Structure 1
């Protein structure tokens, strides 16, 4: 918007400069033409009705014809030609009606070059007499037209530049002032996203009030849809919980009991998700203490393998996700890395715009690129060894997406798997 305004202002000022320069040139040219026409009229008083020239009269007016260096005159009569010795080569323009010389004949503008190659401007008067046509020429250096225009343009250009700068500052101030409500609305939407407020302020300018109302309606609809989804998941989980528990008792010593246990684990997971507060205010988790607790717990779980878990740059970040969801999401990723690591796990935490990026990498065997998408599908285990159920990466992906983030699997620098998850940072003040 600012670039468009600046471009429009610059174009307008350039056009104004060109137009003013043209007007100045025309005004100066008209002034010079009036002086040249006066010379023509003065010389015409020496032309008799029969086309003869009165030399005495010419000598009388010759002093008035000398207006300065470069001013020249010439008379071409049927029997005689008189005038300045260094009269320039000229080309006559279209004829005009003469305003001087008693209204006799027609005057035409002329342009030409002096013997020194300098441009000249002049006027030519043609008088029709019984003795033949008489043409009178008067010329002046074109520089006397261009010099005043140049002298006037220099301060004019400075004035236009000043006006342009002032208009640019005014446009910048106007745009910044005009966009201030938009920035406030943007900050309100960001605060809703990170859980600081429930709705954006609808006390907006008239143009933005409908947008604020629609945003609040969208927030309400999303909250209602989320509550409905959670209720449906809770109802389904509750409906399945008792039959699965009964089935587990019946299959207590059956090899298929492990599959029933996996189903029960999934049901309990969704029951715990359904117990979360369904309001639109998101919980906030401080990253450093939460990671420290997770690292301590997982290090204890894998203490027999001497696996080291290192955290880099956790600092005092906060993310818009509940502590239980954070523990489940990062805990699954860290435990999965520690399970397959040979010597250690590295956790790097870095801001990425409005998001916080967690990279959990290990030096284990990793996952082939062709299998990484399938690895995040629920219940899929690429390695059947161990006691995993195949839900860790799937749960991590689900929780990341639920809170506005994403999970990405890549190859780590150590050769193992690098699981990168992004979560929205929170600006909400925590006790």
Structure 2
């Protein structure tokens, strides 16, 4: 038996324990009932033999010649059928100094056989029992009694084939074990059904957790037994507290951003004042303010994303977000007359995460593509082995293969002539990896750059 599986599986543990007790109970019941029946049949068999012996004793007399006679033979027809398995015999006990004598009387069922009973000296009227070999080598069960009439001592015996007793016992035990086997199978089936039905709420609970994990629900929903409901309520409380912590973290991140950007703006405006433009200190302050702004934007984005990644139950439809961003980019880059082509999402895929993070990632990528494209941008959403894959292709000049890993680093810009902070791709790549995804750069079929954003799908 695999003890690790037994230890780790509640279902197997319950079934194994129940089956062990069923087997033990059936074995004990079978043995006990068999023994009781055996004792009962054996007692009845001995009673029947003693009844025949009593009848024989009651009808025993001595005739005028002092010869033993049986006035009325026992009525059982088996005693008249040769070698039927039921016999009686009367022997005269030889006096001291006399030679042993043959049977005086015997039943017709003995035919020409005699019963050879072990020599013993029971008291007058006392009953003894023996097991001897009888006609045809079968084992006989014998009861005997010594009776004295006048001066004659007689030995009365009644014997029967033990198969008349053991046969019914064997038949009964065979039927008993068959019945107990059927009972055991029925109990096993009942136990299996009980375990299946008893653990069904756990499967429902697993399905509810799966819906939360896949973003189909924000809480565990369903009807559960009273024994499980406290666990469900506690889990829903944890989910609510987790969501509250994330919301608080977002609020604090926003407050921090506002608190930092205001003094940074003051410093920047002071450094860029007309009378300070030629001042080395002003230029240094302006440069450091820009650096701080980049760092603040980058780390706040990471902090907000890291908080939202921990919240289960998130689900965001991808195509509406893309079309909304395309409408924004068409207005932002209206002077360039770019053509945006959104290839429909046939599978209606959804992102397992927060909409704000998806907007930030796709917004950065589509904005970068809009800056570099000459006239056309294609956006396609597809299923990539259970993952969500968004391909953004442009017909710009692209990025050399040797430079692709370099531009994903924080603060690196592919071209200093194009406006930007150099944080868009870095933030997007970090966000994607936080969600268990990735950002891949490759050559586009349009001639420019293909950016593939890989994210967990619902």
**TM-score normalised by L of structure 1:** 0.55
Contact 1:285 1:320 in 2 (8 A): yes
Aligned to 2:364: 332
Give how far 1:379 is off: 2.7
**CA 1:292–1:55 in structure 2 vs 1: closer, same or farther (change >3 Å)?**
farther
Distance 1:7 1:43 in 2: 54
Aligned to 2:38: 29
Q: 1:151 and 1:67 mapped to 2: Cα distance?
A: 31
Aligned to 1:212: 233
- Please say if 1:190 is aligned against 2:222: no
The answer for the alignment partner of 1:347 in structure 2 is 381
Partner residue, 2:437: 407
Structure 1 residue 148 and structure 2 residue 188: aligned? no
Take 1:260 and 1:127, find their aligned partners in 2: how far apart are those partners? 126
Deviation at 1:144, TM superposition (A): 2.8
Match for residue 420 of structure 1?
A: 454
Alpha-carbon RMSD across the aligned residues, in angstroms, is 6.6
Change in CA separation of 1:150 and 1:240 when aligned onto 2, cut-off 3 Å: farther
| 8 Å CA contact retained: 1:375, 1:393 | yes
Please list every run of 5 or more consecutive structure 1 residues that lacks an aligned counterpart in the other structure. 48-53, 88-100, 129-133, 426-431
- 1:94 maps to none
CA–CA distance in structure 1, aligned partners of residues 168 and 83 of structure 2: 10
Give the TM-score, by structure 2 length.
0.53
Given that residues 195 and 320 in structure 1 are in contact (C-alpha distance below 8 angstroms), is that contact kept between their aligned partners in structure 2? no
C-alpha separation in 1, matches of 2:373 and 2:225: 54
The answer for the alignment partner of 2:388 in structure 1 is: 358
**Partner residue, 2:162:** 139
Q: Is the 8 A contact 1:107 1:125 kept in 2?
A: yes
> Matched residue of 2:173: which SS?
helix
Q: Which residue of 2 aligns with 1:313?
A: 346
Change (3 A) 1:243 1:385: closer
User: Structure 1 pair 38/326, CA: closer, same or farther in 2 (3 Å)?
Assistant: same
* Structure 1 residue 288 displacement after superposition: 1.9
Please state how far the C-alpha of 1:211 moved relative to its aligned partner: 6.9
**Whole-Å separation in 2 of the counterparts to 1:240 and 1:317:** 38
Structure 1 distance, partners of 2:251, 2:139, is 88
1:20 counterpart residue number: 29
Alignment: residue pair count: 378
* Other structure's SS at 1:420 match: strand
The answer for the alignment partner of 2:64 in structure 1 is none
Q: Would you say the 8 A contact 1:200–1:212 is kept in 2?
A: no
Q: Does 2:319 match 1:291? A: no
Return the alpha-carbon distance in structure 1 between the equivalents of residues 47 and 412 of structure 2: 105
